[in-house]
Amino acid sequence: MSKNILLVLLYIIVLLALGCDNVYYDEHLKMEVQQLDSDLENRWSTTGVVVSSITPNGPAEKANLVEGELISYVIGEYPIQNANGFNKAVKKAMENDNNMLLYLKDKEPIRIATRKMGDKVGLEVENVDTVRIKTIMSGTPAANTGIIQVGDIVEKIVDERKIQGLDDYKKSVNEFAELNATLTFRTTELIGVKIAAVTALGNLGDVRAVDALIDILKNTRELALRKAAARSIERLVALSELNPLFQQFQEQDLNQLTANTLDSEQLASAEILGLLLVDAKANTATLEAPFGIQFRHRSEALHQKVNEGRLVELAQQYIQKVYEPEQEIRRACLSIIANLKPVSAIDPLVQVLRDEDEIPGIRFQAGLGLSRIGTSAIDALIAAFNEADSTAQDIAASALGNIGGTQTRDFLINALETTSNPATQLTLVDAIAKIGDEPSLSALERQRLRFQGDNSAIRIFLDEVFSSLTTSSE
C-alpha cells in the first residue's frame, strides 16, 4: 500500500520535473520566464527568454515589466568603490564573454574586449579618494583603445550579457544580485510579428482593425510597420467600398448570385481582391470560401466605420509631403481618398497636384483622385490649369477630360484653341477626345484642318485619334 503511494509520489515528482523544464521562476524578480523556441535565433536572430507570468507587487511588476516581453540582454552595473572592487568587477564582467563597458568620468563609455578568456585587460587602479587609473600596460586591449589615460576616474563597469536561454538568464541574474549590481533588462520586439499582424488585419476586413491601424500609422516610429499599416488601411477601404455588392448577397443570404444583375465594376474589383469568382459562361458570381463568405457578414460594419470621417481626415493629412516623408504611405493615402471621394479632399489634393517638388507619379495620382470626386472638383482643376506649371496643366487637363460635362468641354476646347505649347496641346486633344461628343469632335476636326500638311506630333496624334474613333464606331 505505502509502496504504491511512494510510486505515485515519485511519478508526480518526475512529471513536475519534466513539466518545469522550459520555465524558471525567478525568486529575485518574482516572475516566471520561459525558454524560447529553438529556432528564434536562426529565423529572427533573436535569443533570450520570455516573461511568462509576473507575481503582483514583486520587483518585476514594480519595474513595469510586461508579460510576453522578450529579454535578450541582462545588463549589470558594478559601482566601483575601491581598487579591490574594480578588480573583482573586471574579472566578473570579462569571464562571460571577454567583453565589458568601462565608464570613466567625463568620457564616453569605452568597450574593452579581450581575444580569449583570461587575457589581461591591462589596467591597474589605485584608491585616491576615488578610484583612479594607475597604469595602462602597453599592448593590452586597454592601451589599444587610445582613450584611457592615467589618472582617469573610474565610475562604473557595465557587463552586458547576451541571453541564450534559461541557464544564461539564471546565472546572470543570480550573479548580479549577489554582487549588488544594478540590473537592467534589454528587451527585443519582434517587429516581423507586428508587420504580419498588421497585414493579416488588412486581409481579414474586420471593423475592429481600423482604429488600431490608424494608431500605428500615426504613432509608430518603425517605418516598415507604418508602411504595412498604410497598405492594410488602403485594402480595408477598398473592401468597404464593395459593401453595396456584398449587401446583395447578405440580403438574399446566398453565396452565389446571377452575375449580370450585379454592378460589373464592383464585381471586377471584388474579383481582384480575391473575394469572389465570376463565371461569365454560367453567369454566376460566387463568393470564395472561406474569406468571401465570411466577409459578407462583416461588410456593413466595416463600411460604416470607414465612412465615419476619421479615415478621410487622416488620409488628407498624410498625402502632404511636409507631413509624410514616405512616398509609399502618401500613395496609399491618395488611393484611400480616390476610393472615398470626399469633397473635403479637393483642396489638399489640388495642393499635391500643384506641388512642383512632389514626384510626378504622385501628382498624377492626386489628379486621378480629383477626377473621381467629379463635378465639384472642376473649378479647382481649371484654376490649377490656368495658374500652375506645365505638369499640373497636363494632369488637370486629363482629369477634366475624365470628368467630362459641357462646362469642362468648352473650357478644354477654348484652351486648345489658344495654347501654343505643343505638349499641352497633346494632352488637351486627348482629354477632349475622351469626352468625345459632337462639339468635341468638331473642335478636333478644326484643329486637324489647322495643322494639315504639318509634320508635327499634334497632327500625327490627331490622325490617330480620328482613325481610332472611326474604327470604334464601326
- State the residues that interact with another protein by CB under 8 A: 21-22, 28-29, 34-40, 42-44, 49-50, 52, 59-60, 62-66, 68-70, 75, 177, 180, 182-190, 192-194, 196-201, 203-206, 208-209, 212, 216, 222, 290-291, 294-295, 298
Integer CA distances (angstroms), 51 to 24, 27, 35, 197, 251, in order: 10, 13, 9, 21, 48
**Residue 34 beta carbon to another protein: minimum distance, rounded to whole angstroms:** 5
Nearer to another protein, 28 or 321 (CB): 28
* Adjacent-strand bridge partners of 43: none
The neighbouring-strand residues paired with 276 are 287
Give dist(CA 335, CA 237) in Å, integer: 9
Question: Contact at 8 Å (CB) between 417 and 411?
Answer: no
**Pick 186 or 448: Cβ nearer another protein:** 186
Q: Which is nearer to another protein, 79 or 422 (CB)?
A: 79
Measured CA to CA, the distance from residue 258 to residue 286 in angstroms comes to: 9
Q: How far is the CB of 398 from another protein (least distance, A)?
A: 37
Please state, as a whole number, how many other Cβ atoms lie within 10 Å of the Cβ of residue 291: 15
Please choose, from the candidates 321, 343, 266, the residue with its C-alpha nearest in 3D space to the C-alpha of residue 333.
321
Q: How far is the CB of 318 from another protein (least distance, A)?
A: 19
Q: How far is the CB of 118 from another protein (least distance, A)?
A: 29
Q: Which is nearer to another protein, 287 or 397 (CB)?
A: 287
Best CA proximity match to 76, nearest among 206, 179, 188 = 179
Cβ distance to another protein smaller for residue 65 or 346: 65
For residue 377, report the phi and psi dihedrals to the nearest 5 degrees.
Answer: -90, -5
On whether the CB atoms of residues 458 and 422 are closer than 8 A, the answer is yes
Shortest reach from residue 36's CB to another protein, in Å: 4
How far apart CA 354 and CA 218 sit, in angstroms, is 25
> What's the min distance (Å) between Cβ of 210 and another protein?
11
Of residues 229 and 396, the one with the C-beta less far from another protein: 229
Nearer to another protein, 291 or 466 (CB): 291
CA distances from 172 to 93, 158, 178, 182, 287 (A): 10, 13, 10, 12, 57
CB of 22 vs another protein, minimal distance in Å: 5
Instruction: Pick between residue 201 and residue 352 the one whose CB is nearest to another protein.
Output: 201
How far, in Å, are 226, 303, 328, 331, 343 from residue 362 at the CA level? 19, 26, 10, 7, 19
User: Least Å distance between CB 19 and another protein?
Assistant: 10
Residues 6+ apart with CB under 8 A from 227: 326, 328, 329
